[in-house]
Amino acid sequence: MTIAFIAVVANAASCGDRIALEPGCGASVCPPERTFTDLLKLSLRSDLDVLFVVDDTPAVEPRRVALVDELRRAAQVFENTWSGGLPRIHLEIARGSLPPGSPSDCRVPPARGAECGLEPLPGFLSTSSCGRMPNFVGTFDEVVSCLGDLGSGSCGTFQPLEVVRRALDPSDALAGFSRPSADLVVIVIGATDDASTHDGGPALVTDFVAFLKGLKGGRGPELVFVVGPPAGCAGGAAPASAPRLHELADAFGWRGVYSALCAEHPLASLSLGSESVDPACLAPVVDTDLETPGLQADCVVEDETWDATGPHRMTLPACEHAAAPCWRLTSSPQTCPTGELLEVDRGPGYCGQDGFDIQVTCLGCAKPGDPGCVRAR
């Protein structure tokens, strides 16, 4: 789910390209060494909006206790997908029932935020990058399972499509929940099919699908995960039909998943992908001291990171001379077959989800036969 990008921009000396050297660039024309500069940029899209809609009607009672444990497992998936812990997350668990009509004596019970250790505002669970600044007390999985323990006593009807629409509509009471830049995950859990109404009549699934696909600037949700009937797999009875919930999941292709509520772990296939960061491979770097074992590189590494307090810039020392934060070059033929692998150690307090800019300038190799460039790799 989180997407990582690395862009490399090279500014080499004017005679030839530093990666693919021109054969005519000899010692009589070019110096045996030259400098090059790389700009390495990492931007992790780690903003995530997660909306659970959980059945709280009598139909879910046989599976209610097991579902609370499933929500704990799902919370652990969110914690373990990103290095450093939770991303910048907004998570809401909404009741799946709504009053059957108006006028009605049916009253949907209130949310459980206060009793689960959630701060009253903004009304949904949130953290900053790497799980910092949580707006709840307790562990993430404990709070999620507590919020999802909605009982089964609602007098309303199960209307998850309408609940999702209201939660994600910009004019809804969940102001601030949906962020334009954040990925969206929608998870619906129910023991019966959807019975949503809208504007006094049955809600069309196609209209709801179009609404979802139009969110996030037209990107729509990254994942629509539906857990629905059958609620009981034993006994040989025909499984309960849920054509509306199936239609919802099928409308999103590979981004839509349908799982049977009766399964031992119906959320077991929940997956959010993983981070992917390309290696920081530099061009061949000249060894400035052949008498000393190892590569003695002449580089200047300027690092810029940022977090909630703003940008932080510094020139990093080599790790062989100082503790973190520092940089090192390593020979990794499989990862960087034609150059050096740049590694930056920012110490244990750094949150990789915040991203970085690195500008590295090194004394590089201009001639393949340069003694400082011919070494065992």
pLDDT tens digits, residue range 7-56?
A: 333 333 322 233 322 333 334 444 445 677 777 776 666 789 999 999 99
Domain end (from 260, 295, 326): 260
User: Are 175 and 255 found together in one domain?
Assistant: yes
Per-residue exposure over 62-89, b if at least 16 CB sit within 10 Å of its own CB, e if not: ebbeebbebbbebbeebbebbebbbbbb
User: Are 239 and 287 found together in one domain?
Assistant: no
User: Are 106 and 180 found together in one domain?
Assistant: yes
In a domain, residue 265? The reply is no
User: Are 52 and 23 found together in one domain?
Assistant: no
- The CA angle 276-187-173, to the nearest 5 degrees, is 110
Q: Is 316 helix (H, G, I), strand (E, B) or coil?
A: strand
In a domain, residue 266? The reply is no
pLDDT at site 50: 96
Domain end (from 201, 228, 260): 260
User: Are 35 and 53 found together in one domain?
Assistant: no
In a domain, residue 90? The reply is yes
User: Are 114 and 96 found together in one domain?
Assistant: yes
CATH code: domain of residue 114: 3.40.50
User: Are 286 and 342 found together in one domain?
Assistant: yes
Give, rounded to a whole angstrom, the gap between the first and last alpha carbons of the chain.
36
Selected residue with higher pLDDT from 368 and 94: 94
d(CA 54, CA 225): 12
Domain containing 338 equals 4-44+281-373
User: Are 240 and 357 found together in one domain?
Assistant: no
Please tell me the total count of domains within the chain: 2
Model pLDDT for residues 261-288, shown as the tens digit of each residue = 999 899 999 988 766 667 888 888 888 8
In a domain, residue 254? The reply is yes
In a domain, residue 268? The reply is no
- The CA angle 18-22-28, to the nearest 5 degrees, is 95
Tokens of 185: 């995950």
Q: How many other CB atoms sit within 10 Å of the CB of residue 228?
A: 28
In a domain, residue 16? The reply is yes
Indicate the pLDDT class of residue 222, thresholds 50, 70 and 90. very high
Per-residue exposure over 254-263, b if at least 16 CB sit within 10 Å of its own CB, e if not: eebbbbbbbb
User: Are 110 and 208 found together in one domain?
Assistant: yes
